[in-house]
Amino acid sequence: MKKILVTGGLGYIGSHTVVELQNSGFEVIIIDNLSNSSLNVLEGITSITKKPPVFERLDLRIKADVIDFFQRHENIAGVIHFAASKAVGESVAQPLYYYENNISTLIYLLQECKAHSINNFIFSSSCTVYGEPDSLPITEEAPVKKATSPYGNTKQISEEILEDTCSVHPQFRCIALRYFNPIGAHDSAMIGELPVGVPQNLVPFITQTAAGVRKELAIFGNDYNTSDGSCIRDYIHVVDLAKAHVVALERLLKKANASNFEIFNVGTGKGTSVLEIVEAFEAVSELKLPYRIVERRPGDVVSVYADTTKANEILEWKAERSLKDALSSAWKWEQHIRNL
């Protein structure tokens, strides 16, 4: 059994990926500092896979602890690095925190990978690196635009750090996955998204509104140049996204990669507007969602969805779950955590 380190493995995407890794026969070690997750997630994972992953509560910003961790754990075959802070607005208010948490942690990990000859690395990037695209759907060749937030900049800088590292260490192999908008939860409703405080993202806000935790959804603008005036995104089921990590990891472990730094878009290839999401949610939940249209949210990209040809053909991966599946799993998860 190959041993894989998953940083941020108790977070939203990390926990779903741990499940898929365990189900694919990998042994998983999780590092998480619980800054945006809780130990209950470990129980959720275990209840699905029946195999408790090894867990270490560790803060990757503490270099000495990262060094110590790799001294204690031998034979790690690969690393999937999710741990980071991800709130765009918070990153504008606290840039140094974001640069430290998202960049220094990557550097410490890469230093230890080099020291221990761990040569397979998957990185969580984001479609945010494309900014407002010039054409749609977006391919991996589209230019990386100047970031509009410190958070987005950390993803751009991280990709550059990885590319520079790969260029001088030919034995080191990295895949950066540029995620579009992950939504939904595991079908079992044992794990899902757990936003702290008021959700900033659309789907958790919708499910909390439906659960009665929020009064109404505010839709940020209906006067954009789109079919119905609301913004368009590529919403991908988190389980499909998790599976993409397993496929990418297997590619690296087999040394099947075409170059030692590869980038793949991970989305569905389909753009959906905010109003279409509301409509689809109402259909799956059989509820009427209270909402009102408000001002545009500063910094929002109008329309973004992926060209997934590269991942489809090279990784032989394709998003399989529908928007309906994703929204009904998100709603099932919200009902589970609210005891509805």
233 binds ligand NAD per the rule CB under 6 A = no
The count of residues interacting with ligand NAD (CB under 6 A) is: 28
Site for ligand NAD in 111-130 (CB under 6 A): 124, 126
Q: Which residue in the set 42, 86, 231, 252 belongs to the binding site for ligand NAD (CB under 6 A)?
A: 86
Identify what 60 binds: ligand NAD, ligand UFG, none; CB under 5 to 8 Å per kind: ligand NAD
Residue 12 C-beta: closest distance to ligand NAD, Å: 4
Residue 15 C-beta: closest distance to ligand UFG, Å: 17
Residue 39 C-beta: closest distance to ligand NAD, Å: 11
Q: Which of 108, 151, 224, 305 is catalytic?
A: 151
Identify what 219 binds: ligand UFG, ligand NAD, none; CB under 5 to 8 Å per kind: ligand UFG
Looking at the Cβ atoms of 42 and 203, the one nearer to ligand UFG is: 203
Residue 219 C-beta: closest distance to ligand UFG, Å: 4
Identify what 205 binds: ligand NAD, ligand UFG, none; CB under 5 to 8 Å per kind: ligand UFG
For residue 283, the one-letter residue type is A
35 binds ligand NAD per the rule CB under 6 A = yes
221 alpha carbon, distance to own chain's centre: 25
CA dist 329 and 46 (Å) reads 19
63 binds ligand NAD per the rule CB under 6 A = no
Report which of 183, 223, 180 is spatially closest to residue 201, judged by C-alpha positions: 183
Decide: 246 and 283 in contact? Cβ < 8 Å.
Answer: no
- The residues facing 124 across adjacent strands are 177
Q: Which residue in the set 4, 6, 28, 33 belongs to the binding site for ligand NAD (CB under 6 A)?
A: 33
CA dist 274 and 202 (Å) reads 8
Q: Enumerate residues 6+ apart whose C-beta is below 8 A from 137.
A: 269, 271, 305, 306, 307, 308
| Chain residues in the site for ligand UFG (CB under 6 A) | 86, 88, 126-128, 179-181, 200-202, 205, 217-220, 231, 233, 274, 297, 300
Residue 130 C-beta: closest distance to ligand UFG, Å: 9
Instruction: Render 30-69 in DSSP notation, one character per residue.
Output: EEE--TT--THHHHHHHHHHSSPPEEEE--TT-HHHHHHH
Backbone angles phi, psi at 28, to 5 degrees: -115, 135
Binding mask 162-191 for ligand NAD (x = CB under 6 A): -----------------x-xx---------
- The residues facing 178 across adjacent strands are 125, 265
Task: Choose one: 11-19, 162-170, 251-259, 328-336; the region binding ligand NAD (CB under 6 A).
Answer: 11-19
Any idea of the CA torsion for 13, 19, 20, 24, to the nearest 10 degrees? 150
Pair type for strands 232-233 and 272-273 = antiparallel
CA dist 189 and 336 (Å) reads 7
Looking at the Cβ atoms of 170 and 247, the one nearer to ligand NAD is: 247
Decide: 261 and 172 in contact? Cβ < 8 Å.
Answer: no
Identify what 142 binds: ligand NAD, ligand UFG, none; CB under 5 to 8 Å per kind: none
Q: Is 151 a catalytic residue?
A: yes
Pair type for strands 27-32 and 3-7 = parallel
Which positions touch ligand NAD (CB under 6 A)?
A: 8, 10-14, 31-37, 59-61, 82-86, 101, 105, 124, 126, 179, 181-182
Catalogue the active-site residues: 151
